[in-house]
Amino acid sequence: MPKTISETLDTLAVKYGMVLPLGDLIASNAYETLSGQVQTGQYIIGRSIVSHDRLHVTCHHLAFSQESVDWEIWIEAGKNPVPRRMVITYKQVDGNPKYRLKLNDWQFDGIDNGIFTLLIPPNAIEVQASPAD
């Protein structure tokens, strides 16, 4: 795979026909990708509460429409404006399936870069992926 997340997402989509539902959210150009094809958008009046287990967070609720998807995002209000919930509705797929994501365990301090080191078990077997037709 390529060295960047954005290039890897593109390779997965083009070469293998695999589109990750929230790939745009983790891409290096996330803002441009998410906002670039927006046809309409709105800030839902007032703030809403996003609940995860015992955590209740006040959020700004935004909704956007694009040609093939509608998506909503809840951004935490206050000093840590992080995404807390996202819903994507696929308008051009039979049944208009929805993908829902809750983000509830943001940690901003103490991340050790070692957690990103690839550790391959000694008994791992390499599997070749086949490109999509």
The predicted model scores a pTM of 0.70
Q: How far is CA 99 from the centre of its chain?
A: 10
Query: What are 61-97's pLDDT values in tens digits?
Result: 999 998 888 999 999 998 889 999 999 898 988 899 8
Q: How far is CA 34 from the centre of its chain?
A: 10
Residue 12: strand, helix, or coil = helix
In the chain, domain spans: 1-36, 38-105
- How far, in Å, CA of 10 to CA of 19, rounded? 9
Return per-residue pLDDT of the chain as tens, 133 residues. 778 888 888 888 888 888 887 777 777 777 777 777 888 988 887 788 888 778 889 999 999 998 888 999 999 998 889 999 999 898 988 899 898 988 888 877 777 777 677 778 888 888 887 777 6
